[in-house]
Structure 1
């Protein structure tokens, strides 16, 4: 190695000239760049590591605080989180080349992880290695979202009721599931403002306290889309924020359809009972006397005034005795076992041995076979 003619300002030894090496702009700004290798490496640190790292974890939902916000990571073991935090906090010397590193976590206790990180690189054509140990403390706290839930915070209420009736248990369970699925979908997008604070069943139906007005509106919209009916909204002033902005709480009143799919009603228009097949929009069904399609008129709104006669589930299987003509058949009355003449709807299979009938105040009527949607 040839002589450079330069001397180390610290120890006075002459600095050998390294082949092909010329001072860079960074070297000129770095006062240690003029030191010989011995003096340079005497105080050289390949890695700049913090003495300790704290990872803030929500003890309720498991979210991790990163930067200035809480992030859902879905982890029960926070080792991977600790590795990521340490990786972000470590700094490698700017002049190091061919840097490689590996980390080995050591679980000390439930809230402490000791991270053993080993680095290797090349500085001044010299291979160097360094090992650092960084303790990671898991600090269990309560995130803003869980704090709001625990404090009963909500901005909207979704009330599920029936039009002229109480909703069934099945309808209430379905409405609650629709709400939970919608909130879960919003959470999957990273929306931490999406949550249900409280769900309660009352005699008239279901009440749900929802985090935001947007979430409440989305739930009401989806319940009516899947179960039928309609909803209205009303808002009430509850307070003002520190900037004087008015804060409102919005109630979304969901009204499930007056009649249910599978219910038999008599619109009392002279054409006989109707089996309800759809409650989406205007009520739709089929006439039990003829098999003709039925749809509530625009003047009737979503559902007409009608007499409730029963449900498809109330139907009983009985014997088809005879076909009288194009409009009538004979069946056995399931209660008296007498042969009775009843209307012959288009959907009746005259080759069948048995049929399902419903007996009500409007008489005895043959029910159609179930559709796939029922």
Structure 2
């Protein structure tokens, strides 16, 4: 072995030649100093391949399961936090800067619900010498309450969405659908990572539905979606509730959703002399079909979705009866479903004259043939 003429500053042994790539003690200003190069024995005596923390705490929300990372809470949708523990241990471990060809693996050991022991094994090459090292890092799952769940538990909300209907109370189906629309909207926002999206409270009241929403923006979005899908309109009002740290005024918004007076599938009589109408749409101006002729009907611009009309019933109130005869292009005979007498009624265009039975609605306005189920919503 050739000699270098250099000596280890710790043990005094002469160091062989070929130390250019060997780790050394730093001199002033971090410059290489040949007097500070350690021999292999002294170098490996204090060498640590891995720098590992004594313990790691994983903060999770006991309510929603979110995990605290960095300075924020992150939704992961998991009940088993082993993968999260592996990830955080991996991020916390440090490998010696001089190590080459490093390989490692981590084996989690679940001790109980809140404690995991991480066994990590590392291998690498230092000064041409293969080295291995094993470390064990305890991980504790700390269950807390995230900021979002804290707000929900504390009843925090910034806006209210009130669902009502013009001239009537919303049906159970409309209330349920309005709540579903709100939940779907919030879920969509949550999927984008928006942790400010939540519904604090949903309450059914005598004349409709009230929902407390996390932010004004969410409340507005829900009001727009309900009217887009169920029809009607909405208005807003605001009330000053406080000021923030900068003196900015904070308002609580109320979005009053007003569902249409009439519902799809309802039969009304506009009393314009052309007979009852089966309502097919309440989006924009009310649209439907005349039961006497089968012609399309649309309320005027001024009437919108709530024209003045008498309520006669619903498509679901229809009864099936016998088509007795076709008198001419404008009239047919059907059996009255209550008295079983033969009655002459208007013949709408949608009537199938080859049918043996047809659906009819009997009301104080008379007896009318309805479209078949497959045609009712066309």
Scaled by the length of structure 2, the TM-score of the pair is 0.95
d(CA) in 2 for partners of 1:87, 1:132: 12
Q: Does the C-alpha gap of structure 1 residues 181 and 372 become closer, same or farther in structure 2, counting only changes over 3 Å?
A: farther
d(CA) in 2 for partners of 1:81, 1:33: 42
CA-to-partner distance for each residue in 1:202-240, whole Å, 9 max, x for gaps? Answer: 110111100001111111111111111111111111111
Partner of 2:320: 317
Q: CA deviation at 1:372?
A: 7.2
d(CA) in 2 for partners of 1:121, 1:259: 76
Counterpart secondary structure, 1:178: helix
CA-based RMSD of the aligned residues comes to 1.8
Counterpart secondary structure, 2:225: helix
2:3 equivalent to 1:3: yes
Q: CA deviation at 1:84?
A: 0.7
1:1-374 mapped onto 2 (5 Å cutoff): 1-18=1-18, 21-22=20-21, 29=30, 34-370=37-373, 371=375, 373=377
Structure 1: 5+ residue stretches without partners: none
d(CA) in 1 for partners of 2:376, 2:316: 16
Q: CA deviation at 1:323?
A: 1.0
d(CA) in 1 for partners of 2:51, 2:141: 22
Counterpart secondary structure, 2:91: helix
Counterpart secondary structure, 1:330: strand
d(CA) in 1 for partners of 2:266, 2:325: 27
Q: Does the C-alpha gap of structure 1 residues 358 and 39 become closer, same or farther in structure 2, counting only changes over 3 Å?
A: same
d(CA) in 2 for partners of 1:22, 1:150: 60
How many aligned residue pairs are there?
A: 373
d(CA) in 2 for partners of 1:132, 1:197: 46
Contact 2:23 2:37 in 1 (8 A): no
Scaled by the length of structure 1, the TM-score of the pair is 0.96
Contact 2:24 2:37 in 1 (8 A): no
d(CA) in 1 for partners of 2:86, 2:21: 38
Q: CA deviation at 1:186?
A: 0.8
d(CA) in 2 for partners of 1:351, 1:312: 22
Q: CA deviation at 1:2?
A: 2.1
Q: Does the C-alpha gap of structure 1 residues 176 and 35 become closer, same or farther in structure 2, counting only changes over 3 Å?
A: same
